[in-house]
Chain A
Amino acid sequence: MSSPHYPEGTVRALLQTDLVTEATKAALLPRLQTTPYTPQLFDASTYELLRAVAACIYPQPEREYPIELAPVIDKRLAEGDSDGWRYDVMPPDREAYRVGLGGINQAAEAMYQQPFVVLARDQQNLVMEAVAAGTAAGTNWQRLPIDRFFEELLAELTEAYYSHPLAQEEIGYVGMADVPGWSHLEPNQLEPREPEAL
Chain B
Amino acid sequence: MPDEEVLEEGVLNPIKPEIQDPLLKSILAEDEEFAAASPVELEQSAPLPDPVDEVDCVVIGTGAGGAPLLARLAMAGLKVVALEAGPRRDPTKEYATDEKAQHFLFWNDERLSAGKTPVAFGNNNSGTGVGGSTLHYTAYTPRAHRGDLSLFTDFGKGVDWPFGIEELEPYYEELEHFLGVSGPASYPWDPNRRKSYPLAPLPLNGAALLMQKACADLGIRTSPAANAALSARYYQEGIGWREACTNRGFCQAGCNRGAKASMDVTFLPLAESYGAEIRSDAFVTEIERDAQGRITAVVYEQYGEQKRQRCRHLFLCAGAVETPRLLLLNELALTSGQVGKNFMAHPGMQVWGTFANDIRPYKGIPGGLISEDTHRPADADFVGGYLLQSIGVMPVTFASQMVRQRKLWGQPLRDYMRNYNHVAGINILGDCLPHQSNFLELAEEKDARGLPKPRVHFSAQENEQRMNTHAEKLMRQIWQAAGAQDIWAFERYAHTIGTARMGLSGDDAVVNADGRAFDVPNLYICDNSVFPSALSVNPALTIMALSLRTADKFLAAQQRLDR
Contact = CB atoms under 8 A, between A and B. Distances in A.
A65 interface: no
Interface in A38-68: 56-59
Contacts of A151: 403-404, 407
B421 A83 contact: no
Interface string A157-172: 0110111000010111
Contacts of B357: 187-188
Contacts of B94: 23
B247 A185 contact: yes
A190 B122 CA distance: 33
A180 B411 CA distance: 35
A86 interface: yes
Contact of B96 (A6, A26, A173): A26
Interface residues of A, number: 60
B203 interface: yes
Interface in B381-440: 394-396, 399-400, 403-404, 407, 409-411, 413-422
Contact of B100 (A21, A27, A183): A27
B98 to A, nearest CB: 4
Interface in A101-156: 125, 128, 132, 150-151, 154-155
A178 B257 CA distance: 11
Given A4-B418, A84-B126, A85-B112, A57 B98 contact: no
B121 A84 contact: yes
B415 A58 contact: no
Contact of B209 (A88, A163, A187): A187
Contact of A172 (B356, B407, B420, B448): B420
Given A85-B112, A173-B362, A186 B206 contact: yes
B168 interface: no
Contacts of B96: 21, 23-24, 26-28
A88 to B, nearest CB: 4
A5 interface: yes
Interface stretch (B16-24, B101-109, B288-296, B471-479): B101-109
Given A24-B96, A154-B409, A84 B417 contact: no
B110 A84 contact: yes
A8 interface: no
Contacts of B99: 159, 163
Contact of A168 (B123, B364, B395, B416): B395
Most buried by B among A4, A23, A58, A84: A84
B395 A187 contact: no
B269 to A, nearest CB: 21
Nearest to B365: A185
Given A82-B109, A132-B409, A181-B247, A176 B97 contact: yes
Contacts of A89: 114
A158 B247 contact: no
Contact of A85 (B122, B203, B410): B122
B221 interface: no
Contacts of B124: 85
Given A159-B100, A187-B355, A194-B360, A85 B111 contact: yes
A20 B101 CA distance: 14
A168 B420 CA distance: 10
A171 B106 CA distance: 26
B114 A185 contact: no
Contacts of A125: 410
Nearest to B107: A84
A84 B109 contact: yes
Contacts of A173: 362, 395, 420-421
Given A128-B409, A178-B256, A159 B416 contact: no
A45 to B, nearest CB: 23
A52 to B, nearest CB: 13
B256 A185 contact: no
B350 to A, nearest CB: 16
B146 interface: no
A33 B307 CA distance: 43
B183 interface: no
Contacts of B203: 185
B113 A86 contact: yes
B395 A175 contact: yes
Nearest to B363: A182
A24 B414 contact: no
A23 B93 contact: yes
A183 B407 CA distance: 35
Given A155-B403, A185-B364, A24 B411 contact: no
A158 B400 contact: yes
A163 B396 contact: yes
Interface in B216-251: 246-250
A24 B95 CA distance: 7
Contacts of A186: 205-206, 209
Contacts of B358: 187-188, 190, 197
Nearest to B97: A178
Contacts of A161: 399
B345 interface: no
Given A3-B415, A57-B409, A59-B411, A181 B362 contact: no
Most buried by B among A5, A168, A172: A172
Contacts of B130: none
A162 B411 contact: no
A22 B98 CA distance: 12
A91 to B, nearest CB: 10
Most buried by B among A24, A27, A187: A187
B314 interface: no
Interface of B: 93-101, 106-114, 118-124, 126, 203-206, 209-210, 246-250, 256, 354-360, 362-364, 394-396, 399-400, 403-404, 407, 409-411, 413-422, 445, 448, 455, 485
Given A82-B122, A171-B421, 13 more contacts: A1-B354, A4-B421, A58-B410, A58-B414, A81-B108, A86-B113, A158-B403, A158-B413, A159-B399, A162-B395, A175-B363, A182-B363, A187-B357
Closest 9 CB pairs between A and B?
A84-B122, A181-B246, A27-B101, A175-B362, A88-B114, A187-B357, A178-B97, A3-B418, A85-B121
6 contacts: A24-B96, A82-B110, A88-B455, A175-B97, A175-B250, A185-B364
